[in-house]
Structure formats: structure tokens, C-alpha cells
Amino acid sequence: MRYTTRHLILFSAFLFFAGVPQPAFSQHPAHSPHSQHATTVQSGANPLIEEMTLLDRAFRDIVSAVSLGDTDAVHKALEPLHGTMEKTHEGLNTGAVAVRRNADRIKEFKTMDLAFHAKLEALDRAAHHKNQKEMLRIAKQLLEGCVQCHAKFRP
């Protein structure tokens, strides 16, 4: 691997881990950044929190897998996310799910969520083609999507 690519990967991993609150790294559910909703996640009553919890777990695995060029691990990290967007959108439509900030901009939230999940699919395709450079590019875009969405919709 070239010197600059290695530094980009390390820098990306640093940015991700520096921006995530420390409790997010705990394996114990009580220390999760979404711990106040832990029982909701387990019961499946709040699909948005369930999706965010699964994305948190998946993205940590994705960052490691992309930096190592482990395409199988990228696929494995993405598997639990299948169907989560649809459940969240259904919850938004029925009122079972609400965003905590800018709730009047739900259409924008849905648009951002659709674009984010399209990027997840693009990451899966890049992993299928064993294209580490493309996986890195998409992983950076996914991180940016997380930051933008949380800045708009999470207090």
C-alpha cells in the first residue's frame, strides 16, 4: 500500500473515533450512546434507535475492514442493516418514530436517509469488486452523512 493511502486510512479512522463519544465503544448496552433507549431497541418498538444502534456497530467494523482491505468483513458488517431503513420510514409514517430536532423537516430526513443507504449499497458493491480505494472514498462519505444528519436532527 502506498504511503499516502495508508495515511488517509489512518486519518479517516482517527476522525471517526475522535468524533464518537467514548461510551459508544463499550460492549455493555448500559454504556451505549443510546442507552436510555436500550429496552426500546431490544423490544423493537423504536426502529430509528434500533437502526442507529446497528449503524454504530456496523460503522466501527466497516472502518476497520476498509482500512485492512477486508472485503468479507465489510459485507458481514452491512448484513444486520438490511431492512432497517424501511422499518424506520414505516415508523415515521405511522408516528411511532419521531426525530428529536427539526421534526418539521421529516421529508429532508427521509431524503438524507435514502441517500445514506444508497451509499451503504455502493460500499457493498465496492467490497464485492474488492476495490479498496472506492471503499475508502465511500466510507468517508458515509461518515460525513452521519455528521450532517446528526447536526440537523439530533439535539
Residues in the chain: 155
Express each pLDDT in 112-133 by its tens digit: 999 999 999 999 999 999 999 9
Buried b (16+ CB within 10 A) or exposed e, 85-121: bebbbebbeeeebebeeeeeebeebeebbeebbebbe
Question: Quick one: average pLDDT of 106-113?
Answer: 96
Among 2, 39, 35, smallest CA distance to 21 is for 35
Mean pLDDT computed over every residue of the chain: 80
For the entire predicted model, the pTM comes to 0.71
Fold assignment, 3-153: Four Helix Bundle (Hemerythrin (Met), subunit A) (1.20.120)
What proportion of the chain, given as a percentage, has pLDDT over 70?
70
